[in-house]
Structure 1
Amino acid sequence: MSSFKALASIPLSQVQTLRVNDVVEPLHLDSPATFVMTDFSRRSPRIIDSDTAVDETVRIMSKIHVRSKLVVDKNLNLVGIVNLADLLSRKVLMAANQKGIKRADVTVNDVMVKVAELHAVKLPKIQGSSIGDVLATMRTLGEQHLLVYDNDKHIRGVISAVDIGRALQIPLDINVTAHSFKDIFNVIHEHTELN
C-alpha cells in the first residue's frame, strides 16, 4: 500500500480572484541566464535513442509537448539534439533520398544536429551571464541550443532558443550555421524550391 495521501482541496468555484501581486515578474534580456537553463541536476534531461524512427519521435514529442530532445546512443552517450521543426520539415525526405530508404525508415540519427556541430559553455559563465548574453552567443554560433557543462566536463544543462522566446514572449529567429557542404547545398536547395 502506498504511503502517499491525498491533499485536502476545495471546489475551484470557491476561489474567485487571482492574486496578481504574487505573479513572478516577466523575464527580459538582462535577467539571469540560469532562469532559462534546463538544469539536469534538478530536472532529468529529455532524451531519445538515436535509432528511434522519426514518426515515432514526432508522436512522442507531440504527446508530451516538447520541441527538442537530446539524442543518446545505446550507452547513453550524447550524440546530438533533435527538434520537432526538423522532424516535420523536408529534412526527413532529403535524408531518405540521400540514404535510398523509405521515409518511414528514417531515424533520429539521420536528421539530428550531431554533437560535433554543437557548442557548450561552462556553468560558471552561464551563472554570471544574462539571457541577452546567451542569445548573442547562440546567434554568433548559429545554433538553436547551447549546452552547459560543469567543472568535470559533464553536460549539466541546455538552453534552447525556443525556451528563451517563450520566456521573453517574443518570436526569435536564430539563423542556423551550415557546418558542411551538404548543409549549404540543402539550404540553397530548399531556398530555390520555395521561390
Structure 2
Amino acid sequence: MKTLTYVSTKDVNNLVWPVKTDNINLYSPALTVFTDFKTAGPRVIESSTRADELVQLMKKEHVRMKIVVDADNHFIGVISLEDLSEDIFIKQVANGFERSELMVADLMRAKEVLLALSYTSLKHSDIESLLFSQRNNPLQHLLVIDEETKAIRGLISSNDVARQLRLDVDVAFSSFEYTYQSAILGHKSQDKKRRVA
C-alpha cells in the first residue's frame, strides 16, 4: 500500500480551469466542436433495452442520442429522442406491437443506413465548411469515423455548434440544417446590413 501526501490549502489562491477557446467563430477549426471519445467516452445503450425505459433514461441524463451496441459492445447503430417520439410509439402500437415489448433494436437507425464524417477531413476543416456540408441534414448528431482504426472516434452535435457560436436557436429543436441557416445565412444577412449602414 502506498502512503498519500497531504498539503495545506492555506497558501493556495488559484484554481485550475479547463483550457477554453475564446471567440469561436465560423472560421475556427471544426475540431473545436467535436466530441472526441478518447477524452469523453461514448454514451452507449444495449440494443436489448426496452425503448420506453430508454426515453426516461435519456431525459434523466439530459442526452438526445446514444450509440447502440450489442452484448459484446460492438457498434450496431444510433438512437435519438426523435426515434423515440410519442408518434413513433403510436405507429408501432398501431402495427400490433405492445409498447412495453418494443426494444431499442426495433427503433434504432442501423449502422448500415448511417453516414459518418471522416476524422481526417474534419481535422483539416473549419466550422463553416462543416456546416455547409451538413446544410441539408435534418438530424442533430453526426458520427465521426477514424478511418485508420475503423472505429467511431466521436461525434458532432448541432447543439454544440450552436452553443459554441452563441447562436440564438432553440437547441431542443435544433438540427444541422437549422444551425446552418442560423449561422451561415444569418451571418450573411448581418454582413449585408453592415454594408448598407
TM-score, normalization by structure 2: 0.69
Residue 179 of structure 1: aligned partner: none
Does the 8 Å CA contact 1:118/1:146 hold for their aligned counterparts?
Answer: no
Cα distance, 1:36–1:106 mapped onto 2, change above 3 Å: same
Residue 62 of structure 2: aligned partner: 65
Residue 31 of structure 2: aligned partner: 34
Q: How far does residue 72 in structure 1 lie from its aligned partner after superposition?
A: 1.0
Q: How far does residue 76 in structure 1 lie from its aligned partner after superposition?
A: 1.6
Q: Deviations over 1:62-93 (max 9, x none)?
A: 22221111111122221211112332341122
Does the 8 Å CA contact 1:48/1:69 hold for their aligned counterparts?
Answer: yes
Residue 118 of structure 1: aligned partner: 114
2:78 is paired with a residue of what secondary structure?
Answer: strand
Residue 88 of structure 1: aligned partner: 85
Cα distance, 1:65–1:8 mapped onto 2, change above 3 Å: farther
Residue 15 of structure 2: aligned partner: none
Cα distance, 1:2–1:161 mapped onto 2, change above 3 Å: farther
Residue 133 of structure 2: aligned partner: 137
How much identity, in percent, do the aligned residues show? 34
Provide the C-alpha distance between the structure 1 equivalents of 2:134 and 2:3, rounded to a whole number of angstroms: 46
Q: How far does residue 173 in structure 1 lie from its aligned partner after superposition?
A: 3.6
Compute the RMSD of aligned alpha carbons. 3.1
Provide the C-alpha distance between the structure 2 equivalents of 1:3 and 1:88, rounded to a whole number of angstroms: 53
Q: Deviations over 1:147-195 (max 9, x none)?
A: 21221221111112232223323324446xxxxxxxxxxxxxxxxxxxx
After superposing the two structures, state which structure 1 stretch, 143-152 or 45-54, moved more. Answer: 143-152
**Structure 2 residue ranges without an equivalent (≥5):** 11-18, 178-197
Q: Which runs of 4+ in 1 moved over 3 A?
A: 1-10, 140-144, 172-175
Number of residue-to-residue matches in the alignment: 166
TM-score, normalization by structure 1: 0.70
Q: Which of 151, 155, 166 is the matching residue for 2:152?
A: 155
- Residue 120 of structure 2 aligns with an amino acid whose one-letter code is P
Cα distance, 1:30–1:51 mapped onto 2, change above 3 Å: same
2:98 is aligned with 1:102: yes
**Structure 1 residue ranges without an equivalent (≥5):** 11-21, 176-195
